[in-house]
């Protein structure tokens, strides 16, 4: 590795660690050392939320938004969607429950 890169990295690290007290600096260095040892340094990934089955199927999503969800029981909406789109396209009840709550919240924000 290039020694200039190493020197620059050391300068940046020292500059940042000098802002901390000794105990905090040691904790940071120990944490970095553990991450290097485990090979996990720089592996932190941002979590990406997957679309639910309701959100990914545009037709179901638009149909649900067109209903007055505030005044309809969830069980009735689920049966109505199952009749219209079939069981293969519909999510499980627990997934539908989560999606239903999100849609209700979204409709409340729109109003």
| Length of the chain in terms of residues written | 111
Q: Residue 48 pLDDT more than 80?
A: no
Q: Residue 43 pLDDT more than 80?
A: no
Task: Name residue, tokens 């089955």.
Answer: 53
pLDDT, tens digit, 9 for 90 and up, residues 82-93: 999 999 999 999
Task: Name residue, tokens 């020197």.
Answer: 7
**Model-level pTM?**
0.55
* N-terminal to C-terminal alpha carbon distance within the chain: 59
Query: Which is it for the CA torsion 81, 87, 88, 90, positive or negative?
Result: positive
CA distances from 43 to 40, 46, 61 (A): 5, 10, 35
Predicted local confidence at residue 96, as pLDDT: 92
């Amino acid at each position: 590795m290039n020694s200039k890169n190493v020197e620059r990295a050391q300068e940046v690290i020292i500059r940042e660690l000098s802002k901390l007290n000794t105990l905090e600096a040691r904790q940071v260095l120990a944490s970095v050392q553990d991450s290097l040892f485990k090979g996990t340094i720089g592996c932190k990934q941002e979590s990406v939320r997957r679309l639910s089955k309701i959100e990914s199927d545009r037709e179901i999503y638009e149909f649900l938004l067109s209903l007055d969800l505030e005044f309809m029981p969830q069980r009735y909406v689920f049966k109505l969607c199952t009749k219209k789109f079939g069981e293969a396209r519909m999510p499980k009840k627990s997934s539908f429950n989560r999606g239903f709550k999100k849609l209700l919240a979204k409709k409340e924000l729109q109003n």
